[in-house]
């Protein structure tokens, strides 16, 4: 700012995915300011943001998601950013599916780290029916329409472990990767939902990615959704505020929760029509369905009443567990 003073200043912002190491390597002589982040726990370090100077009033700022050109005319600012992008733009990957951003919080800030998913996490209609039962592809298309049409609300995926809730969410991330931006919060980090810094984080994300709809995934979030008590009152209230009301108007978040408990255990306020966009129960496959899926995978199954997806993929053979009798010998 001191370089431009009260003179002309024009800014051009270019959003994408950029390699900061490559930016330094290709423009080392112009590096003017830098911030490096170091994590002491795992000794991982990397560039956080960089500023390059290419003239008395010609600067480029870059972080992993954007390049910003500063110059005395709009055309010069645009040319600076676009030219700089050619030196550090990450190549498009055609062999990946969707992606999500892992949200992490420390004492001072909330950050997120991108996680890419393999291409085979995007399923065909036939595969969806194999995994979740006949007609599931029709339900899926309806759910996609709802997610595209509404930018806030709550979706609840209920089912016992291994029934494919997370497997399906990975597919959704791939289908909507061009229009939506997905975030994942670990169960141990759910307390950030009620923090002031959480609102600040989303305000910044919306500013950076104004063309995207935001989806937050909470896995195994039973404790945060069950009927309010002394141990979870704050979390339930936070999710209520995030999915409906005035705060929801500002944040515009859709929250997808997976739970192992039943809907009857969920706080009734979360199940209210208008807030709850979708509630789907992921059940176990009956033997005929499981057998069709196993045969499509080239596997065999022993006869049993039902199977979870995890058991089919693990080529699981159900066996009766024989336990020794308990008691006193006569």
pTM for the whole thing?
Answer: 0.68
What's the rounded Cα separation, in Å, for the pair 50 and 153? 37
What's the rounded Cα separation, in Å, for the pair 254 and 207? 17
What helix, strand, coil percent values describe the chain, rounded to 5?
35, 30, 35
- 255-282: pLDDT as tens digits: 999 998 887 788 888 888 778 899 999 9
Neighbouring residues of 1: CB distance < 8 A, sequence distance ≥ 6: none
- 135-163: pLDDT as tens digits: 999 999 999 999 999 989 999 999 999 99
Q: How would residue 327 be classed by pLDDT, with cut points 50, 70 and 90?
A: very low
Domains of the chain: 10-85 (no CATH), 96-281 (3.40.50.300)
Cβ atoms 15, 83 nearer than 8 A: no
Q: How would residue 239 be classed by pLDDT, with cut points 50, 70 and 90?
A: confident
Taking 80 as the threshold, does the pLDDT of residue 321 lie above it?
no
φ, ψ dihedrals at 186, nearest 5°: -70, 150
Neighbouring residues of 302: CB distance < 8 A, sequence distance ≥ 6: 317, 318
pLDDT exceeding 90 applies to what percent of the chain?
A: 45
Of 27-41, 163-177, 221-235, 308-322, which one has max mean pLDDT?
163-177
Q: Within 133-286, where are the H helices? A: 136-149, 165-175, 196-208, 222-225, 233-243, 246-251
Average pLDDT estimate for 25-41: 84
E strand or H helix at 22, and its extent? helix 20-26
Instruction: Among 105-119, 122-136, 138-152, 172-186, name the one with the lowest average pLDDT.
Output: 105-119
Q: Find residue 45's DSSP bridge partners.
A: 38
φ, ψ dihedrals at 300, nearest 5°: -115, 150
Strands 44-55 and 58-63: antiparallel
Tokens read off for 256: 């997808």
What's the rounded Cα separation, in Å, for the pair 178 and 322? 52
Helix axes 165-175, 136-149, angle to 10 degrees: 60
pLDDT at 43: 46
Nearest to 53 by CA among 19, 26, 37, 29: 29
pLDDT at 75: 96
């Amino acid at each position: 700012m001191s370089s431009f003073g009260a003179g002309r200043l024009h800014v051009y912002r270019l959003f994408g995915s950029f390699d900061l190491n490559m930016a330094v390597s290709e423009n080392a002589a112009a590096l003017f300011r830098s911030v490096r982040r170091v994590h002491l726990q795992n000794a991982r370090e990397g560039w956080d943001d960089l500023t390059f100077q290419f003239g008395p009033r010609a600067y480029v700022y870059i972080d992993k998601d954007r390049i910003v050109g500063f110059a005395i005319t709009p055309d010069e600012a645009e040319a600076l950013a676009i030219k700089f992008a050619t030196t550090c733009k990450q190549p498009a990957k055609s062999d990946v599916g969707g992606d999500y951003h892992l949200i992490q919080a420390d004492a001072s800030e909330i950050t997120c780290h991108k996680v890419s998913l393999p291409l085979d996490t995007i399923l065909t209609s036939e595969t969806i029916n194999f995994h979740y039962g006949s007609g599931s592809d029709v339900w899926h298309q309806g759910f996609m329409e709802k997610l595209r049409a509404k930018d806030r609300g709550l979706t609840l995926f209920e089912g016992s472990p291994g029934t494919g809730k997370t497997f399906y969410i990975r597919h959704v991330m791939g289908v909507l990767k061009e229009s939506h931006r997905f975030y994942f919060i670990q169960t141990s980090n759910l307390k950030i939902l009620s923090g002031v810094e959480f609102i600040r984080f989303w305000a910044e994300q919306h500013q950076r990615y104004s063309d995207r709809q935001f989806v937050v995934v909470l896995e195994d979030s039973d404790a945060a959704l069950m009927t309010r008590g002394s141990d979870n009152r704050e979390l339930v209230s936070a999710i209520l505020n995030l999915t409906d009301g005035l705060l929801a108007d500002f944040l515009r978040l859709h929250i997808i929760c997976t739970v192992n408990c039943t809907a009857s255990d969920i706080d009734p306020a979360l199940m209210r029509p208008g807030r709850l966009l979708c509630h789907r129960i992921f059940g176990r496959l009956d033997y005929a369905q499981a057998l069709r899926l196993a045969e499509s995978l080239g596997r065999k199954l022993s006869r049993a009443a039902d199977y979870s997806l995890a058991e089919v993929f693990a080529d699981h053979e159900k066996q009766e567990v024989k336990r020794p009798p308990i008691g006193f010998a006569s």
